[in-house]
Amino acid sequence: MTDDGWTPGRITRSDSGFEGHLERELAHPAAAVWAMLTEPASLAQWLAPGSIEQREGGAVRIDFADSGTVIDSRVTAFAPQRLLEYSWSSPGQPQRPLRWEVQPQGEGSRLSLRVRLPEGEDPAKACAGFEGHLEMLAAALEGVPIKFPFDLFVQARKVYGEQVG
């Protein structure tokens, strides 16, 4: 845990690149967290405008208009209210699977994210970016959406960079 109470995830090497594992304990029921991951109005509050068809093979489109990045992929694993996986990429790009898992935990829930990246990409930057977006998700659950927390991104990128070496 860092001085400000943030607990970093971990990055490990895989056969084809890197895997980041990030988690959040949230004081909100799993259904509310699931809605944040899958409903267009909620996605726009913490990630970017987009839509996800909630079924295996369903279309995923997330548009980061400010950066010109558009995620255009398919749902590769799906279990309602519990598991969502899709690639964080567009056609013609390397696959960067994201695996979201939501588990009830008491009156709240645990949100787990696994980010897989191919060799040659910067796992510290990717995981730090998701740390920022997870912070935005937590704030949106509280009803107070925030802008991307750049200070957290910088801190997380440094911590993850040390993990990768």
Residue-wise pLDDT tens digits, 33-63: 999 999 999 999 999 999 999 999 999 999 9
pTM confidence score: 0.93
2 has pLDDT over 70: no
Identify the pLDDT of residue 136. 96
Band of pLDDT at residue 4, cut at 50, 70 and 90: low
Identify the pLDDT of residue 67. 75
Q: Which two tokens stand for residue 119?
A: 């060799």
Asked if residues 40 and 53 have their Cβ atoms less than 8 Å apart, the reply is: no
Give every strand in the sheet of 97-105, ordered side by side.
10-14, 17-26, 108-118, 97-105, 83-87, 69-79, 59-64, 50-52
pLDDT digits (tens, 9 = 90+) for 80-112: 999 999 999 887 889 999 999 999 999 999 999
6 has pLDDT over 70: yes
